[in-house]
Every structure is written in C-alpha cells, then in structure tokens.
C-alpha cells in the first residue's frame, strides 16, 4: 500500500504530461514551444546533476556537450557537406524538384544515439586529465573546456582551408525528424513540422522520462553509491576500494551523454545551429537549476529547471506586459519602455544568493546532502565555541 502511494504522484504527473497537448488545445493556450524548450533544459540539468549532484565534481563547461550534440545533427542531417550526397533512413524525400538532395541526411533517431555517444567520448576526454584536480582547479579546467568548444565552432569555417562549422553563419536547414514508414493518416509523425508541435513534444517527453529513469537507476546502483562516496570524501572512498579514476570518468561520460542528447534534439527542433547559442551563460544557468532545486535530488533538479526557465520564458515577459500597461495608464515613458526580461540573469543571481543564504541545500534537498551541510554547520559552531 505504501509503495503504491509512493508511485501515485509520479504516475499522475506522467499522465498529466501526456495529456498536456489536449489541455493546451482545449484552453487555447500557446505554451507548446516554451514547454518543449523547458524540457530540453530539464534534460541538461539532469545530466549535470550526475556530475555535480551525484559525484560532487564541479563542472562549469557543460554547455560544450550541448553544443557537440547539436553539431552532430547539423553535420549529418543537413546540406552543409553539399559536395557529397548520402542518405540513410531519413524522413526527407530522396529528391527535391527532380534533383537528388545534396549533403548528408541520416535518420534523426540514429543521430540522437550518435550525438550522445560523441558527447560521452568528449566527457571521457575532459575527465581524464582532470582526475587529480579538485575544487577550484577542477572548475577552471572545465570552464576552459566550455569556452574552447564554442570558440572552435565559431572559427571552424577555415580549418586548414576546410569549412567544418560554417563559422558565425552557422548550419541552417537541419532535417526534421520523422517516422517515414507510418501510414499517410499519421502524416504529422512521418515528418515533424513547425505548425503541429505535438510530435516534438512527445519526443522530448519520452527523452525526459528515459533520462529520469536512468538517473534513478544510476542513483540507486553500485556506481551511484560510489559517486556519493567520492562526493563526501575522496580519500575515504579510495580507502574503501572505490576506483576514483573509473568512477569519475563514468560521471563525466554519462552526464555528457544527456547533454549531447539534449543538444541533438534542440538542433533539430530549431533547425539552425549558431556557435553564439552555446555561451558560458548556459552552463551557469543549468548549474543554477541544479543548485536551486537541490543537488543530488532528481525531482528537485527538475523543479529547479522548470522554475528558472518558466521564469525566463513566461513570468518575466508577462511582468513586462503588466509594467507596460501600468506605464501606459500612468503615461510614464520609463515604464512604457521597460525591458524586464533583459535583466533575467540579474534576477537569477539575486534568487541564487537568496537561496544560498536561506536554504543552501535547495528547494527539495537530497537527504545525504542536507545532512552533510548540517554537520558542516555544527562543526563550524563547535569551532567557534571552542575559540570563544
């Protein structure tokens, strides 16, 4: 009975999520696009939570994996490499206007796996030289990696005379996903369009649910317990027989995998990839989601992602409209021309500082993490009393 009660809330939320398109259409809301983008950031936050929340390894360059996943789709599902003509299970027609479609066009579902694997490989590459680093030194190295990858894409239009990334222009016209073998009655699923966002929504919903399931299984696994031992005390974990090298590499690789999956979906959804879209701000924003929700707590991280991106996509624009209406009523040019969403990162910073002061363990704290913080506070208090 207790077990059934435990699963009742998640099951209800999943059912509500699957029914959301019907509710959205019935109420005449226009929330599909922001909800899809929020779901992408939920995947990113859950991926970073593996590295930061489970293993306790500070990563300030997580946006690099997001970019790598996006460019995998850009390279192999567009006309970017127009000097070749290759297709494999693509939802696009083989010919356009009687001519064979140039470029590489591989099925999105295959590229989704490839993007995750490619990002995981780079997760191992960055993890290998940072295994002996801790704290600030680790943060600096990951920050450098997060800056190098977008800069590489920015200047990748002339690598030994070859155009790999198209530089600042980016890669455009990325193929839409689809299931070409379905009957014509399911035309919106045969090739995803821009008018009906339901296929996109259900695709990202399934990806998020898979991400949550894998996170839960990892958390409760032997590897998950090893991550938490490393997070609490690396020296004690090594003394207990935990292989620090393998454990950290798995954290980087698995966290990067979900970053690559999110990037691949986002690239196909937006249909255009620009190197300027993968700035350091995204790494900070995703890290804020993890800290705000509660490091190590899966559901807390999800809540943190929804709150910050909901604030960014819905609440701030709504507040902006209210301020403009007040300015119009009061005939105030200052309020009429106010741009509240412009200060989103300032507001995120204020919110984060408030959380660190009032509730440092996050909105929904991980139990072990909460106990660690309490023990640290008790030790500090005892030290102060001793000195007094």
Q: Output the pLDDT for position 97.
A: 56
Q: Which of 50-54, 350-354, 361-365 has the lowest mean pLDDT?
A: 361-365
The reply to whether 346 falls in a domain is: no
Residues 16 and 160 reside in one and the same domain: no
Residues 57 and 163 reside in one and the same domain: yes
Domain of residue 4 covers 1-30
Q: Output the pLDDT for position 369.
A: 62
Higher pLDDT, 32 or 4: 32
| 3-class SS shares of the chain: helix, strand, coil, % to 5 | 70, 5, 25
- Banded pLDDT at 346 (limits 50, 70, 90): confident
Q: Output the pLDDT for position 256.
A: 92
Residues 64 and 105 reside in one and the same domain: yes
Specify whether the backbone of 2 is left (phi greater than 0), alpha (psi in -120 to 50) or beta.
Answer: alpha
Q: Percentage of the chain surpassing pLDDT 90?
A: 19
The reply to whether 358 falls in a domain is: no
**How many structural domains does the chain have?**
2
- Banded pLDDT at 96 (limits 50, 70, 90): low
Q: Output the pLDDT for position 233.
A: 79
Over 70: is that where the pLDDT of 340 sits? yes
- Banded pLDDT at 386 (limits 50, 70, 90): low
Q: Output the pLDDT for position 368.
A: 67
Structure tokens at 273: 């990839």
The reply to whether 159 falls in a domain is: yes
- Banded pLDDT at 68 (limits 50, 70, 90): very high
The reply to whether 284 falls in a domain is: yes
Q: Output the pLDDT for position 316.
A: 82
Q: Output the pLDDT for position 103.
A: 81
Distances (CA, A) of 102 to 32, 165, 202, 336: 32, 17, 30, 49
Q: Output the pLDDT for position 42.
A: 93
The reply to whether 238 falls in a domain is: yes
Cα separation, 93 vs 88, in Å, equals 11
Over 60: is that where the pLDDT of 182 sits? yes
DSSP 185: G
Pairing of strands 99-100, 95-96: antiparallel
Higher pLDDT, 68 or 1: 68
């Amino acid at each position: 009975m207790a077990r059934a009660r435990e699963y009742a809330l998640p099951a209800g939320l999943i059912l509500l999520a699957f029914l959301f398109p019907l509710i959205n259409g019935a109420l005449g809301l226009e929330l599909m696009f922001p909800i899809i983008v929020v779901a992408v950031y939920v995947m990113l936050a859950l991926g970073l939570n593996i590295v930061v929340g489970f293993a306790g390894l500070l990563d300030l360059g997580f946006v690099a994996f997001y970019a790598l996943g996006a460019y995998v789709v850009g390279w192999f599902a567009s006309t970017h490499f127009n000097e070749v003509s290759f297709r494999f299970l693509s939802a696009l027609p083989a010919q356009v206007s009687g001519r064979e479609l140039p470029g590489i066009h591989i099925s999105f579902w295959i590229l989704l796996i490839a993007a995750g694997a490619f990002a995981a490989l780079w997760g191992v590459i960055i993890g290998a030289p940072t295994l002996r680093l801790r704290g600030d030194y680790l943060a600096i190295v990951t920050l450098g990696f997060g800056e190098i990858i977008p800069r590489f894409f920015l200047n990748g239009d002339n690598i030994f005379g070859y155009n790999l990334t198209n530089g600042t222009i980016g890669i455009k016209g990325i193929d839409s996903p689809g299931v070409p073998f379905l009957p014509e009655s399911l035309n919106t699923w045969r090739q995803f369009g821009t008018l009906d966002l339901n296929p996109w929504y259900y695709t990202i919903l399934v990806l998020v649910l898979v991400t949550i399931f894998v996170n839960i299984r990892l958390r409760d696994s032997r590897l998950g317990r090893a991550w938490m031992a490393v997070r609490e005390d690396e020296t004690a974990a090594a003394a207990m027989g935990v292989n620090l090298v393998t454990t950290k590499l798995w954290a980087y690789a698995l966290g990067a995998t979900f970053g690559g999956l999110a990037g691949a979906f986002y690239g196909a959804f937006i249909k255009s990839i620009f190197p300027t879209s993968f700035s350091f701000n995204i790494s900070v924003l995703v890290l804020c989601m993890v800290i705000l929700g509660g490091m190590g707590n899966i559901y807390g991280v999800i809540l943190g992602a929804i709150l910050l991106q909901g604030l960014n996509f819905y609440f701030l624009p709504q507040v902006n409209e209210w301020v403009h209406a007040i300015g119009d009523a009061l005939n105030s040019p200052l309020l009429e021309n106010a741009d509240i969403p412009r200060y989103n990162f300032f507001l995120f910073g204020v919110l984060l500082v408030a959380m660190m002061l009032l509730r440092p363990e996050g909105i929904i704290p991980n139990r072990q993490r909460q106990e660690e913080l309490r023990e640290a506070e008790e030790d500090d208090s005892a030290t102060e009393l001793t000195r007094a």
